[in-house]
Amino acid sequence: MSDRLKLFTGNAHRILAKDVADSLGRPLCSARVTKFSDGEIMVHIDENVRGCDVFIIQPTCAPVNDNLMELLLMTDAMKRASATRITAVIPYYGYARQDRKVQPRVPISSKLVADLITAAGVNRILTLDLHAGQIQGFFNIPVDHLYATPILLDYIQDTLEDLVVVSPDAGGVERARAFAKRLNASLAIVDKRREKANVSEVMRVIGNVEGLNALLLDDMIDTAGTISQAAAAIKEQGAASVFAVCTHAVLSGPAIERLNESVLDKVIVTNTIPLDSKMKACSKIVQLNSASLLGKAIKSIHEETTVSSLFV
């Protein structure tokens, strides 16, 4: 890797950014991202980036608007400082669930965010487990869409056996089927009806889970209502144990209380989103590190070699 490779981060997830830098054997470059007294964000890049290949590691997790604005302002600063290429490394892409019009007079927020990021001057996107794959098409710049599957599979294969992979809803069947195939496991589906946002009602389990270790697979866990109810339904059908597996631990609102009170044995997540002290105190959460995967992709992008081997 040449000295033209520069790694930066805002305030969204400095620990992950440091881990990515360590995996590449490179330092995190210095940038000051602070706020004025009125709440406006101020960015100052402390290093020369003229002619450099810049990577900004910044998940747009909570507080999503602050973290998104930091990314936009850092990009603008890099562009005005004559960086040759700017890649936004967004392990968790906020606003991804608002990817289509489901009601009259509502925005397609994930498309608007894509337009903002592109207009700011980002030349390439590197992201992990988008909520909807079609979001790649919202960008008119290259998007490298990685999956956390290898990280999750390594942990599961080393610790669990007699598995059945369960999709918590019909929309996640394709993801669950691919995961089950890699594990040589059977597949089941939880049929649920969502009455309104963040409220779901589990109906029934389709498939055999009796006597097996069930893996409830999703791309993210937000308020944990769906996962908790699905776990209860699976347990009622005779599963030996129930584990939740996801890439993005959003865990907002009553999520931690629901997980603690649920029948879930463990909740296996990656570190695309930082865990606060309350989340870290939850004994059910197992957090896996995605830094090596992201580091390999950054190295391939910088050296202009194929990234396709990571798309598994």
Nearest CA to 62 among 286, 288, 198, 222?
222
- Look up 6 and say whether it is catalytic: no
Cα 312 from Cα 310, distance rounded (Å): 6
User: Which residues pair with residue 125 across a beta bridge?
Assistant: 88, 143
Which residue in 6, 111, 192, 235 is the catalytic one? 192
Structure tokens that stand for 147 in this block = 């999956």
Sheet holding 5-9, edge to edge: 5-9, 53-57, 85-90, 124-128, 143-146
Tokens 């498939």 map to which residue? Answer: 207
* Exposure letters 66-103 (e unless 16+ CB within 10 A, then b): bbbbbbbbbbbbbbeeebebbbbbbbbbbbbbbbeeee
What are phi and psi for residue 290, nearest 5 degrees?
A: -95, 5
Is the C-alpha dihedral spanning 32, 269, 283, 192 positive or negative? positive
* Residues with catalytic function: 192
